[in-house]
Chains A and B, each alone.
Chain A
Amino acid sequence: MHSKDLYPTIVVTDRDNTLMNVVDTVFPGATALLCEYHIERNVRAKCKTNFKVKDLKGKDGREIKTNSMVKKIMRAWKDIVDSDTEEAYVYNCNWFKEICEKWPKFGEYVESTILGPMKEKIVKFWVNKVMHMGNTTTNRAEFTHNWLKKYLTGSMGDLSTNWQQLQDMLESHHT
């Protein structure tokens, strides 16, 4: 990439602070996006740690299972991410907050650390303003790592064995 014209216009990263900060300086003019999948995982993890079984009581006094609650929240989260207009985003956000009312800590976390500073980087309405051609996750890279590691027989191989195994992988891929 010798010419400035060839600089990428879009950079998708996971939520690694150093990576996020450096994108602006290395590729000025590029739009930084965040990996949808990583964010989703983060929200889900937070969701699970914040919910205790004891505070799960339905309206009719019956216990609600943690799983079904997490599913409900994640569905609301997905709606937020998928909002394609600003109104829809506000509406979905309110709905999400309503569900999370009982767990203010979780609601606050999502609000202040994820939606607040980075909504432009994950919510469809803002993301779809730039041409990302469907690349809103870094899954492809993760998938290749996984695949590659099936070919590498261990973590202690030397370089030429590793290379040979990599070569086998590539050759079977490029038909």
Chain B
Amino acid sequence: MIAGDWSLKVGDGKHNHDMANVLKGHKTAGRLTPNERVHLYEMAKSNVPPRQMLTNLRKRNKNTSTTTKHVYNACHRFRESTRGSRNDMQHLLKSLVENKYVYHCRNYHDSDDVSDIFWAHPNGIKLFNTFSTVLVLDSTYKTNKYHLSLLEFVGKTST
């Protein structure tokens, strides 16, 4: 743009309308307060679906102008913050190690693709060592996006 081609003149610098009564959908007004954010993260941690989080926020503060978009964004940010730059498998292995799980991975002979993963909760192992008489195994489907079946080991205690 060449200077001098056109110019802008402000005739009247005042707003020509009042402030809106309802601030719903307003980006800044709908921002979560630090308290709300903590609360929301806590809900995300215990697997509350985002659609129900808004109901909860509404109950705490009737006049909130937070929208679903804010909630979903916050949830996404929470997930990002826990996972960091690790990918799915890396994060899984990290959590397994951190929680002292017993685990074992196998891959296909001709590639590095993971074919199956086994993991056992430390308590589960303790229980199995004590009550190993009855063990029920069954696999179930539709649990993950990789179409891996999930084989569950269920033990039975005597009490």
Contact = CB atoms under 8 A, between A and B. Distances in A.
B123 interface: yes
Interface residues of B, number: 33
A5 to B, nearest CB: 13
Contact of B136 (A133, A141, A148, A162): A141
A138 B124 contact: no
B143 A155 contact: yes
B25 interface: no
Interface string A140-167: 1110110011011101111110111101
Interface in B61-82: none
A163 B96 contact: yes
Given A135-B156, A148-B140, A153 B119 contact: no
B83 A160 contact: yes
B123 A159 contact: no
Contacts of B136: 12, 135, 138, 140-141
B33 interface: no
B88 A140 contact: no
Contacts, number: 78
A168 interface: yes
Contacts of B47: 151, 153, 165, 168
A133 B157 CA distance: 12
B121 interface: yes
Bin the interface of chain A by size: 20 to 34
B74 to A, nearest CB: 17
Contacts of A54: none
Chain A, interface SS category = helix
B144 interface: yes
A105 to B, nearest CB: 32
Nearest to B137: A141
Nearest to B133: A133
Contact of B119 (A145, A152, A163): A163
A158 B90 CA distance: 12
A174 interface: yes
B155 to A, nearest CB: 9
Given A141-B152, A145-B152, A158 B145 contact: yes
6 contacts: A8-B135, A140-B156, A141-B152, A168-B47, A170-B121, A174-B124
Given A8-B135, A160-B89, 18 more contacts: A133-B133, A138-B138, A140-B136, A141-B152, A144-B152, A145-B140, A149-B140, A149-B143, A156-B145, A158-B144, A159-B89, A159-B92, A160-B88, A162-B144, A163-B119, A165-B47, A170-B124, A174-B123
